[in-house]
Amino acid sequence: MNSSELLLLFAERAESVGARVFTVPTMADAVVRILQSCMDKAPCERLLPELESATDSGPLSSNGVPVRTERVLAAPGLPGIIAAALQAGCKDAGVRLVTDNLREWISGVDVGVNVALAGIANSGTCVLDTLNEDVRLSGMICETGVVLLDPAMLVDSLAATAPLLRRLHAGPGYVSYITGPSRTADIERVPAVGVHGSLDLHVILLSGVSHA
């Protein structure tokens, strides 16, 4: 499979499991896209309001949970150049950027941003190095997960990821394969997203992001 075929297959398969896939030409466009993902969504539910005093509560959500008035974007462990661009973008948009101590935000954040190590075209999967606990948490407690993926890092199938796993497990390691948002069909086999983690997953394809 050539690279454009891999890209098409990845996008098709990721979207078939409920992810949205965007292709952007530059880092600046990626930041715009991330902020859009943050602003377009409903306000974040505060699932543990008592643990959190830093932000204000708005009205109750449809699930009977207080929502947060401020937008919060978690982006720990990003490469410096992306982190800087995102910081500037968040400031302009009035979005609070969180880059560490994610445990303080277990009640939920609007968006979690991560960079993928690789993508698996056949299953529409993003492969993430999540050994850093903040990185891992940002993908679990967000309502919308955003993954930046370099199309050059696409492989065709699961089997091709063995060398990567071997490398990351030379010491303590935690590698996450993420395929669409968290979902369940445990009640009458009706598909439903967001029983625990992200309600949405946005994959942003950006050439060169793996070398940033």
Q: By rule CB under 8 A, what string of x and - marks binding of each residue 103-142 to another protein? A: ---xxx-----------x-xxxx-----x-x--xx-xx--
Asked whether position 8 contacts another protein by CB under 8 A, the answer is no
Q: Which of 41, 106, 112 is nearest to 75 (CA)?
A: 112
Q: Name residues contacting another protein, limited to 61-90 (CB under 8 A).
A: 62-65
Chain mean position to CA 147: 4
CA 169, 135, 28: angle at the middle one, nearest 5? 120
DSSP states of 132-148: SHHHHHHHHSEEEEEEE
* Residue among 49 and 87 whose Cβ is closer to another protein: 49
* Residue among 89 and 136 whose Cβ is closer to another protein: 136
Q: By rule CB under 8 A, what string of x and - marks binding of each residue 21-40 to another protein? A: --------------------
Chain mean position to CA 148: 8
119, HSE (Cβ side, Cα atoms, 13 Å)? 33
* Residue among 80 and 191 whose Cβ is closer to another protein: 191
101: alpha, beta or left? (left if phi > 0; alpha if psi -120 to 50)? left
Asked whether position 12 contacts another protein by CB under 8 A, the answer is no
* Residue among 94 and 191 whose Cβ is closer to another protein: 191
Q: Smallest distance from the beta carbon of 150 to another protein, in angstroms?
A: 20
Asked whether position 5 contacts another protein by CB under 8 A, the answer is no
Q: Name residues contacting another protein, limited to 136-195 (CB under 8 A).
A: 136-137, 139-140, 157-159, 161-162, 165-166, 168-190, 192, 194-195
Residue pair 140/128 in contact by the 8 Å Cβ criterion = no
Q: Smallest distance from the beta carbon of 131 to another protein, in angstroms?
A: 7
The residue type found at 35 is L
Q: Smallest distance from the beta carbon of 186 to another protein, in angstroms?
A: 4
Longest dimension (CA), the chain: 52
